Amino acid sequence: MKKICCRFICSASLFAFPLAAAAADISVDSSTIFRFESRDISGAKKQTLLPATKFLGLDVDKLADGNLSLHFNGWGRYDLADKSFNNEKTGGSFTYGYLQYRLNAANADIRAGRLFVHEGIVNEQIDGVSVRTDLPLGFGFSAFGGANVHTRHLADENSDGKGDGNFGGRINYRYKGMLELGASGQYETNAPTLINHITVNHRLVGGDVWLSPHKSVELMGHTSYNTETRGVAEHTYLLNVKPLKHLVLTGEFNEHRERNYFYTWVMFSQLRNPSEKSRSLGGSASYEFSKAVEVAADYKHYTREFGNADRYGADLKLSFLDHSVRSGLGYHYLRAGREFAISGSGNPSASYHELRAYAMHDTKTYFASVDVLDFIFNDKINNEKNAWEAQASLGYHFTPALAVSGDFSYGRNPEFTEEIKGLVRLTYNMTFDSKGGKK
């Protein structure tokens, strides 16, 4: 399958330019990345990684009667040195590829192929069909159905935890651009049984809301319920308030019931308390003193049955020369006990300080950036007090559509005695009109 994906991406990139002469509008988004990384792990063999990765996106509009379009995105990888991922020299993914037909009435459309479905509580990738349309009196309807897109098998399992088919939909009501209410659900068929004899059916129902009674207030969120485990899976809500012109206040609440929300994840069904729940509650404030200076502060409290934590800090953002130069400084602190970490390190504390500084400069011909990130641990990990990385980037625009850039980074952390990474990136973005000319 991977070889087919890689061949398809290469073939599509070769045919992208001749297609520009056809009677359609064509957009090509192509990036080729050559990455270099040297890994020196204490007690292990030094590795040199040289993966070459091709990303390709293609959109063809105004096909047939003008309402039909084609959309594709995928990538392929080949290792020129040591194997960089999953002990394999090649890799690839057909991310999505579908035909879409837009009807002239009721804001309706039909999609068929490999596609993503984002409807209310539903976030799935399927090989199938989705439909959407507006209904009278402010109502709307959408539905989808098809086969799950399978990925690699879970650890110590002979499946990826997904069932064969996935079906569902959403009904919604919108009122005067200030309120939208939705009810949605999904039903997965023939889910596999994991090694611990748990059947991982992923079947959810739930509701979502978007409310904006005034331009300065916006509330959005959703709640989902797992019909298999008969329990609430998730609450996620976000509130944005803008009391002053340059002041934005944000509050958020999230709660996950692990067995209900992560039911198809073998790591949660095997290694963690299935009745466990996690919750986070936080807020942030940002104020723009001028077009050149913005300050933001945030706080979030995490609650888990095996420990609590608090993360707080602030960021300063600066802009100069008509936004062509942007820079910033940031500091955050995570206060957490040893039990809060998912993978136990044996340390008395999982707390750390996070420091960041960056600068970016863009012009019509070249662009550059420098970014430094440092994590300072309260207690040493593998006899290391911190983990840090510095990265520099430099790029050049040959034309508005064609650019080449390179990244180089160096760092040290508890896992790698020394980590050196680099890449070269060639990016091409172009849109052609129906006569084959550039737009």
The mean pLDDT of 96-111, rounded to a whole number, is: 93
Which residues are within 8 A (CB) of 108 and not within 5 positions of it... i.e. 6 or more apart?
102, 131, 132, 133, 134
- What is the pairing mode between strands 366-381 and 418-432? unpaired
* Res 434: pLDDT: 53
Rounded CA-CA distance 253/273 in Å is: 22
Per-residue b or e along 354-385, where b marks 16 or more CB atoms closer than 10 Å to that residue's CB: ebbbbebbbeeeebebebbbbbebbeebeeee
Q: What is the pLDDT of residues 240-276, one digit of tens each?
A: 999 999 999 999 999 988 767 655 444 444 444 555 6
* Cβ pair 134, 108 in contact under 8 A: yes
Q: What is the pLDDT of residues 366-390, one digit of tens each?
A: 999 999 999 999 888 888 889 999 9
> Is residue 276 classed exposed, middle or buried when 0-12, 13-18 and 19+ CB atoms within 10 A define those classes?
middle
pLDDT band at 100 (very low <50, low <70, confident <90, very high): very high
Quick check: 223 pLDDT over 80? Answer: yes
Quick check: 138 pLDDT over 90? Answer: yes
- Residue ranges of the alpha helices (H) in 157-285? 258-261, 266-271
Nearest 5°: phi and psi at 175?
-125, 110
pLDDT band at 362 (very low <50, low <70, confident <90, very high): very high
- pLDDT > 70: what percent of the chain? 81
Rounded CA-CA distance 222/121 in Å is: 7
pTM equals: 0.79
- Indicate the SS3 state at residue 414: coil
Rounded CA-CA distance 415/41 in Å is: 7
> Is residue 316 classed exposed, middle or buried when 0-12, 13-18 and 19+ CB atoms within 10 A define those classes?
middle
- pLDDT > 90: what percent of the chain? 51
- Least reliable range by pLDDT among 4-18, 152-166, 317-331: 4-18
Q: What is the pLDDT of residues 11-56, one digit of tens each?
A: 444 344 444 445 678 898 899 998 887 766 666 677 788 888 999 9
* Res 275: pLDDT: 53
